Structure 1
Amino acid sequence: MSDEDASDLLAELRRPRPYPAVSLTLPTHRHRPENQQDHIRLRNLLADAEKRLAADPQVSKEQAAAVTGNLSEAVDELDPEHFLEGLVLFASADEARTYLVSSTVPERVVIGETYLTRNLVAASARQIPYLALLLSTGEVRLWHGVGYELHEIDQAESGFPVISSGVERDGPPNREGGHGEEQDFRNMLTEADRRLTPLLQEAALPVVVVGLRQHVVTFRELSRHKAVLAADLEVGGLLQATAPELVEQLAPARASLAAIDAEEALKALDAARSGKRYAAGVQDCWQAAREGRVGHLVVEESVRVSARVEEVEGAPRAALVIVDEASDGGGGGGGESGQGVGDGVEDDVVDSLAEMVLDADGDVTFVPDGSLTGTGGIAAALRY
């Protein structure tokens, strides 16, 4: 999915729904035997949602039946064999939507007038586009990835693969006197680096260099694009790997790219602090977001804040009244419900805070817990 498609989807999901709109999130597992328990836990979470809908005085029997019917139908269609690290399920009286995400989510049930999109926002932020350059003795291939989507870039698009013209194709570089063969190998890498240039001019994507250690070292030595060589994966034998096989192998590299992205977000906060364009804490960030002043919001992954908005007559600014500040702790431990709209309490104001920033064309980055000391886990770089 392109960045534009993801933005359009998130914007559509953020629009208000008729109450009750149910958001259900569950940490899941990729492999047996753990994923065989996921469907049982999902059923238990579904039963919890059904009970809460039935007990909600704002929800008619017809509404509850429609929502639970959509939830049940969506759950029936899920296959644990295809689970990733997290499951996000949205349902209202007239729809149900299911998303598998490659990051851990908390176990929660939230009922309100909007869907809880922060987990999708966080997952989308981690879907960093990148190029993977696969090096071998006699051939260089190029792949384009976005999260768990991966496809090989072909000759028509880029001039890849680059093929060696020497006998090295059938063995490792001969370092015991085979100077011509070694030079042929270096020429191949230089040509691959040259063919990267127009692609990087179109989009300066980070490049993951994949291959045996000596291959990676040589390419880095020769490359004119050192600034975008973001990560290395020192492993051989992947030249003929399928996309699913290669995606799994690239997991550490994707984690490195996400860590770099988080580090850049923290640097942006430092620069904003020095330039006195900085806000910290949910109260100040929320107010700045309401005014459209947040250019980049940074949130620790597990921060959750229940709050209500109080409009004060005659006052220029509304007040955000904190009800509860908590951490989801990476997921687990029994679903919890939002307090609904009846008492004006929003279960997770971080969700609407992120929505306000995105709607104003700002950026949102989720960083590891403990990254934002002294801020309550929320800080922002302001436009002014």
Structure 2
Amino acid sequence: MNTHRTRPENQQDPIKLKNLVREAEERLLNMESSRELQPLIERLHQLQASIDHNYNLDSLLLFVNHELAEYVRLPIAVKERVVIDQSFATRDLIRAMHLSAAYYLLVLSKQQARLIEAFNNEVVQEFEGDFPIENTQFFVTNKEEISDPRRHTNMLAEFFNRIDKVVNKSIKDHPLPVLLCTEEEHYHLYKRVADKKELLLEPFLSGNRVEEPAHAIVAAAWPIMEAWKKAQILQRKQELQQAIGAQKVLTDVSEIYQAIKNGQVQSLFVEEGLIQPAVIEQEQVVFVSDQKLSQKEVIDDIYDELMEECMRFGGEVVLLPDGELSQFGGCAA
């Protein structure tokens, strides 16, 4: 369900959640006996009561089964719905993941280096211990060398190389893309001496910001990361177009279903808003109307099911804006 971040709008959220919980309860009781479902319904009500709506973001997802009862707040709008199925509907989690970015910011100057972990426009942590790294030895003091620009560059390259080794040690257990925040000449020099160039992003945040607070640096970096994420999605779309040209694309939902089960799908492309109830009959996907959602054998959303299975078999799910896959009915693999 969609929620609100601030008052007084968020005072509507508990009422909306109550109505959706009631809808879920009614659908459950239409499918099974109340005795079997009472523990599940009680877990749902307990989870509902535990939510403090003062901390809401843009949407709220509840996941409940006999072993688990959890909720997730997301910074994106969602289509409001109740899903009752054998597996959780994770489309919105995947979409939030596609639109979000976890990354490191290496804030660099010729005197100092700081390392910040960020998620979107929020600071996760600033590394301490090995950071900040101060340049206490890699600078020219010899009078004869002060006028030699190559000597200055070599000394700075050595300082950056030492920084790079500490960065790689610090992030080896949790590798993420690294966005450099530095002046342009330093960006190119650092990239030249870096051991793991594949982790360094092409864009960089320009300027000397080593004295700025972490939250200000991350706020300035987020538009760059947001554009980078969108470029990644565009690149995947171009890869799909190439596969279409090579006639290596499946578009029939039943064929996609079979290929996923056989572990033959590397990438599944689905439009963000595509939702379709279905049943599986003799290994074929058969679409049904929303009026049959209360029937036990009906899968609330076959595309959620395909995404879950694709990821379970090691494949990747790529969500595209609505209309991008209209020639294929909204789904391709």
Q: Is the 8 A contact 1:162 1:192 kept in 2?
A: no
Query: Residues 61, 349 of structure 1: CA spacing in aligned structure 2 closer, same or farther, 3 A cutoff?
Result: same
Deviation at 1:234, TM superposition (A): 5.6
Q: Is the 8 A contact 1:27 1:105 kept in 2?
A: yes
Deviations 1:312-360 (A, max 9, x none): xxxxxx2211235xxxxxxxxxxx9981443x32121011111221121
Structure 1 range deviating more: 146-155 or 291-300: 146-155
Query: Residues 198, 248 of structure 1: CA spacing in aligned structure 2 closer, same or farther, 3 A cutoff?
Result: closer
1:83 correspondence with 2:59 = no
Task: Show the counterpart of 1:280.
Answer: 251
Q: How does 1:165-314 map to 2 (within 5 A)?
A: 191-192=159-160, 195-196=163-164, 199=167, 205-210=176-181, 215-222=182-189, 223-224=191-192, 228-233=200-205, 239=211, 241=213, 250-311=221-282
Query: Residues 64, 288 of structure 1: CA spacing in aligned structure 2 closer, same or farther, 3 A cutoff?
Result: same
1:106 correspondence with 2:79 = yes
Q: Is the 8 A contact 1:27 1:104 kept in 2?
A: yes
Which structure is richer in relative contact order (CA contacts within 8 A, separation 6 or more)? 1
Deviation at 1:132, TM superposition (A): 1.1
Query: Residues 283, 250 of structure 1: CA spacing in aligned structure 2 closer, same or farther, 3 A cutoff?
Result: farther
The match for 2:20 among 42, 45, 60 is: 45
Rounded Cα–Cα distance in structure 1 between residues aligned with 2:56 and 2:293: 29
Deviation at 1:208, TM superposition (A): 2.2
Q: Is the 8 A contact 1:370 1:377 kept in 2?
A: yes
Task: Show the counterpart of 1:329.
Answer: none
Task: Show the counterpart of 2:140.
Answer: none
Rounded Cα–Cα distance in structure 2 between residues aligned with 1:229 and 1:101: 26
What residue ranges of structure 2 are gaps of 5+ in the alignment? 138-146
1:60 correspondence with 2:33 = yes
Q: Is the 8 A contact 1:230 1:257 kept in 2?
A: no
The match for 1:142 among 111, 115, 122 is: 115
Higher strand share: 1
Q: Is the 8 A contact 1:272 1:278 kept in 2?
A: yes
Query: Residues 196, 346 of structure 1: CA spacing in aligned structure 2 closer, same or farther, 3 A cutoff?
Result: same
Deviation at 1:231, TM superposition (A): 3.7
Q: Is the 8 A contact 2:113 2:163 kept in 1?
A: no
What residue ranges of structure 1 are gaps of 5+ in the alignment? 1-25, 167-178, 312-317, 325-335
Q: Is the 8 A contact 1:265 1:298 kept in 2?
A: no
Q: Is the 8 A contact 2:104 2:176 kept in 1?
A: yes
3-state secondary structure, aligned to 2:244: helix
Q: Is the 8 A contact 1:86 1:101 kept in 2?
A: yes
Deviation at 1:88, TM superposition (A): 1.4
Query: Residues 339, 246 of structure 1: CA spacing in aligned structure 2 closer, same or farther, 3 A cutoff?
Result: farther
Q: Is the 8 A contact 2:27 2:294 kept in 1?
A: no
Query: Residues 94, 288 of structure 1: CA spacing in aligned structure 2 closer, same or farther, 3 A cutoff?
Result: closer
Deviation at 1:42, TM superposition (A): 1.9
Deviation at 1:138, TM superposition (A): 5.1
CA RMSD of aligned residues (A): 3.8
3-state secondary structure, aligned to 1:298: strand
Rounded Cα–Cα distance in structure 1 between residues aligned with 2:225 and 2:10: 23
Rounded Cα–Cα distance in structure 1 between residues aligned with 2:71 and 2:109: 40
Q: Is the 8 A contact 1:108 1:337 kept in 2?
A: no
Rounded Cα–Cα distance in structure 2 between residues aligned with 1:198 and 1:279: 46
Rounded Cα–Cα distance in structure 1 between residues aligned with 2:109 and 2:19: 49
- TM-score, with normalisation over the residues of structure 2? 0.76
Task: Show the counterpart of 2:126.
Answer: 152
Q: Is the 8 A contact 1:90 1:115 kept in 2?
A: yes
Query: Residues 139, 145 of structure 1: CA spacing in aligned structure 2 closer, same or farther, 3 A cutoff?
Result: same
Q: Is the 8 A contact 2:43 2:64 kept in 1?
A: yes
Task: Show the counterpart of 1:323.
Answer: 288
- TM-score, with normalisation over the residues of structure 1? 0.67
The match for 1:359 among 279, 294, 312 is: 312
The match for 2:321 among 368, 377, 383 is: 368
**Matched pairs, number:** 313
Rounded Cα–Cα distance in structure 1 between residues aligned with 2:134 and 2:272: 44
Task: Show the counterpart of 1:171.
Answer: none
